[in-house]
Structure formats: structure tokens, C-alpha cells
Copies of this chain bind each other. A is one copy, B any other.
Amino acid sequence: MSEDKITALKTSIIETFGTPCAVVDMDIVERNIAKAQTLCDDAGMANRPHIKTHKSPLLAAMQIDAGAKGITCQKLGEAEVMADAGITDIIIATNLLGAARSGKLAALQKRLPLKVCADSTVTLNEYAQAASNAGRALDVLIECDTGMQRAGVETPAEALVLATAIKANSMLNFAGLLFYPSLDSWPRTQVFYDELKAGLTEIGLKPKIISTGGTPNFAHIGKLNGATEHRAGTCIFNDRMMQAAGFASIDDCALQVYTSVVSRGAENRGILDAGSKTLTNDSGGLDGYGQILEHPTARIHKFSEEHGFLDLSKCNAKPQVGDIVRVIPNHVCVAVNMVDQLVAVRGGEIEQIIPVAARGKLV
């Protein structure tokens, strides 16, 4: 975009919405959606994007229109919002104890058949109860941990215990396995899967879905022999972490927070009107909090709730009070989660408002 167009868009954004404002470039969004789909297609795997990143039925529909088989949610409440929008093929990729015990899982399962995940018999028992209340058996994937120390059983033997329990329960269907291999644990994941598959065959079970996940893991997509689908979230927008991971360039980052420089207390200090309640304190392990397009050498070194604190000591042309700057967040998934809406732009023009409809669905 030309400098003039950028300046005009900034004016348009602040005069229409004020600052801070989360803005997404739809040309980049569409390119990112197509790229993820192509990566899955080329690997012969289904694409099941994780909607935790955007929490928007409109963007989920764009992903499905581009070829995605279904979606992944992290919360029952996210799945409710997506189901309301007519999406029917949903994996909820977490142990849903609060959702099960509150009756919300049964209520949604009554409306449409969900695919849920578990790594313990406690969760399986809650699922069986919810399925019974819904009057429809639940499809369950077993979450397996192969080194990331997230949720998931640590051994094929533990997974087999759960698979056996699922098989024994008429309200549960064994649907498959959920993996999140770390970048260097693919060989280990293969060993885990092969051993587990043999055990499953022995008890007469065959996983329909073998899911891998993560945007950085696109680097290894298809390397798990047997994997059927991939779930990635961040790639729809990308961020500073995805640049650091080598997945995206700065031009692939679709979301920018437009923020005003509101104070310049001293030569090397400045303050933005975007703080931890906008960009969050999730550094993603990077230095500083966000990348300022207009001032790459300015460093957001800390936040208060509504202010971002700039260290301008390495800046030659320093921003002035009243300037609007665009910030690519370190971690876009948590930044989107702070706002009720995204402003979609295309070619320097405001196109539409995208509600972050599933934001705040904690359960």
C-alpha cells in the first residue's frame, strides 16, 4: 500500500473507531487461508483450522469455503457459537470437565454430534454422563502427549486403557487420536502412534481421525505416517511469533493494532494507548511486546493496563504525540481475544466489522 493510502486509512480508522483498534487486512487473510489449505492438500490431509485464533463464524466459514473439512474449538462455548452459525463438523480439543458438569456439553450434543477429547477416565465418565443426558453417544479422541508436556497421556499403554474404556461404554465412540508433536518430536510421535495403533488393532479399534496440530508444525505436515488431518490456528493471521518460527514474513501478518502515541515524557520515552488490556502480556518468549511497523527500532518494553511503554533510544526518527502506529502482536490469538470486533480492511478501505463472536466463552 502507498504511504498516502496508509495515512488515509489511519485517519479513517481513528475517526470512525478511535484507537486502539484491531484491524485485519482481508487480502492477507484470504492468502493465509489458501496457504494453509494448500499445505494440507499437498500432504493429502484434511484441514481442520483451530478457530481459537479468530473466534469468528464469518472467518470459519471462509476457511470451510476454501476447503476445510471442519473446525477445531478449544471451548464448548466456542463450539456453541460456531454451531449457531451452521457449522456441524467440530472437534473440541480439550478435556471438558466444566462444560460437562454444567450441562452445556449435553445441551450442545443434543443439537449436533460433537467430537471431544479426553486424557483420563474422569473425563470419560463425565462424557458418558453428558452423552446419556443428550441421548446421543459422543465421539471421543484420545489426546496423546509426545513431549510437549501439555494435556495428553504420556504412553501408548495409558491411551489403550482409555480406548478400552471408551469401547466398553455404549455412550462413547472411539473416534481417534489427537497429537501435538513438538517440532523435534515427530520421530517419537511416530513410534508412539505405531505402538498404539498395534494395540488398538488388538482390541478391534481403528482410529478414524489422527490429528496433528500447530502452525509451526506445518513444517512437518504429513511426516506422521497415518495422520489424517491437521489443526492450525495462528496461520490465518500470523504474528511476530510465527515470523520468529520461520512460518511467516511480516507481509503475511494480517492483523495490526492501530494505536496512538499519546505521550512523550522524555527524549527516549513514549507511550501508546494500547496496553496489556489490548495486546496482552503474552510475550511469546520474544523480546518486547509487538512490532511497530513505522518504527522497527522502537521497543515496547512493558505495559500498564492501557498503555504501552516505548523505549526510543535506538530510534532515529522518533514518533510524535498524535502519530498513529501499527503494531503486529507477538501472539495474535490472545490479542484477538481482547476485542469484541475486528475491523476488516481491503486495499486501504474499511470493508466490514467482524464480530469476535466467541470471545469470552470461558467454559
Residues of A within 8 A of B (CB): 14-21, 52, 74-76, 94-95, 97-99, 101-104, 119-120, 122-123, 126, 145, 149-154, 260, 262-266, 269, 271, 273, 276-278, 280-283, 303-307, 309, 320-322, 333-334, 337-340, 360, 362-363
Contact = CB atoms under 8 A, between A and B. Distances in A.
Contacts of A282: 276, 281, 303
Contacts of A52: 305-306
A278 B277 CA distance: 12
B362 A322 contact: no
Given A20-B363, A154-B266, A277-B337, 6 more contacts: A16-B102, A18-B98, A52-B306, A126-B322, A150-B304, A276-B334
Contacts of A262: 94-95, 97, 123, 151
Contact of A321 (B101, B120, B303): B120
Contacts of A119: 263, 265
Contact of A102 (B18, B280, B321): B18
Nearest to A284: B281
A97 B150 contact: no
Nearest to A266: B154
B265 A154 contact: yes
Contact of A151 (B101, B265, B339): B265
15 contacts: A15-B103, A17-B98, A18-B102, A18-B362, A97-B322, A119-B263, A122-B322, A150-B265, A150-B304, A152-B263, A154-B266, A278-B362, A305-B333, A305-B334, A338-B360
